[in-house]
Structure 1
Amino acid sequence: MKAVDVAIVGGGAVGAACARAAALRGLEIAIFEPGPD
Protein backbone atom coordinates (compact mmCIF):
# COMPACT_ATOMS: atom_id res chain seq x y z
CA MET A 1 0.00 0.00 0.00
CA LYS A 2 1.39 3.39 -0.92
CA ALA A 3 1.30 6.49 1.27
CA VAL A 4 -1.36 9.11 0.59
CA ASP A 5 -1.90 12.64 1.83
CA VAL A 6 -5.66 12.37 2.41
CA ALA A 7 -7.85 9.37 3.23
CA ILE A 8 -11.57 9.84 2.60
CA VAL A 9 -14.13 7.44 4.03
CA GLY A 10 -17.20 7.36 1.80
CA GLY A 11 -17.36 8.36 -1.83
CA GLY A 12 -20.78 9.98 -1.88
CA ALA A 13 -21.35 13.56 -2.97
CA VAL A 14 -19.42 15.11 -0.08
CA GLY A 15 -16.59 12.56 -0.21
CA ALA A 16 -16.20 13.09 -3.95
CA ALA A 17 -16.18 16.87 -3.52
CA CYS A 18 -13.50 16.61 -0.85
CA ALA A 19 -11.46 14.26 -3.04
CA ARG A 20 -11.72 16.64 -5.98
CA ALA A 21 -10.67 19.63 -3.86
CA ALA A 22 -7.67 17.73 -2.51
CA ALA A 23 -6.67 16.45 -5.96
CA LEU A 24 -6.85 19.95 -7.45
CA ARG A 25 -4.34 21.01 -4.79
CA GLY A 26 -1.96 18.25 -5.88
CA LEU A 27 -2.56 15.91 -2.94
CA GLU A 28 -2.59 12.12 -3.25
CA ILE A 29 -5.93 10.76 -2.10
CA ALA A 30 -7.51 7.42 -1.27
CA ILE A 31 -11.26 6.87 -1.06
CA PHE A 32 -12.53 3.99 1.08
CA GLU A 33 -15.97 2.46 0.55
CA PRO A 34 -17.54 -0.32 2.61
CA GLY A 35 -17.51 -3.74 1.04
CA PRO A 36 -20.18 -6.42 1.15
CA ASP A 37 -21.02 -7.73 4.60
Structure 2
Amino acid sequence: MSEVDVAIVGGGAAGMVAALRAARNPNLTVVVFEKSTAE
Protein backbone atom coordinates (compact mmCIF):
# COMPACT_ATOMS: atom_id res chain seq x y z
CA MET A 1 0.00 0.00 0.00
CA SER A 2 1.23 3.48 -0.83
CA GLU A 3 1.80 6.16 1.76
CA VAL A 4 -0.81 8.90 1.99
CA ASP A 5 -0.21 12.37 3.38
CA VAL A 6 -3.85 13.44 3.69
CA ALA A 7 -6.86 11.15 4.13
CA ILE A 8 -10.32 12.70 3.86
CA VAL A 9 -13.20 10.62 5.21
CA GLY A 10 -16.44 11.61 3.51
CA GLY A 11 -16.92 12.95 0.03
CA GLY A 12 -19.55 15.53 0.81
CA ALA A 13 -19.15 19.23 0.11
CA ALA A 14 -16.74 19.86 2.99
CA GLY A 15 -14.71 16.73 2.22
CA MET A 16 -14.34 17.69 -1.42
CA VAL A 17 -13.27 21.24 -0.56
CA ALA A 18 -10.70 19.90 1.91
CA ALA A 19 -9.40 17.41 -0.67
CA LEU A 20 -9.21 20.06 -3.38
CA ARG A 21 -7.26 22.42 -1.15
CA ALA A 22 -4.87 19.68 -0.07
CA ALA A 23 -4.41 18.49 -3.66
CA ARG A 24 -3.20 21.93 -4.70
CA ASN A 25 0.06 21.08 -2.95
CA PRO A 26 2.03 18.92 -5.41
CA ASN A 27 4.05 17.43 -2.54
CA LEU A 28 1.01 15.80 -0.92
CA THR A 29 -0.74 12.55 -1.76
CA VAL A 30 -4.46 12.87 -1.07
CA VAL A 31 -7.12 10.17 -0.84
CA VAL A 32 -10.87 10.50 -0.26
CA PHE A 33 -12.81 7.66 1.36
CA GLU A 34 -16.55 7.44 0.76
CA LYS A 35 -18.91 4.80 2.07
CA SER A 36 -20.32 2.36 -0.42
CA THR A 37 -23.98 1.46 -0.79
CA ALA A 38 -23.10 -1.80 -2.57
CA GLU A 39 -23.93 -4.98 -0.71
For Structure 1 versus Structure 2, the TM-score category normalised by the shorter chain is 0.7 to 0.9
Percent same amino acid at aligned positions?
A: 49
Which is greater in Rg? 2
Q: Which runs of 4+ in 1 moved over 3 A?
A: none
TM value normalised by structure 2:
0.78
Name stretches of at least 5 consecutive residues in structure 2 with no aligned partner.
none
TM value normalised by structure 1:
0.81
Matched residue count: 37
Name stretches of at least 5 consecutive residues in structure 1 with no aligned partner.
none
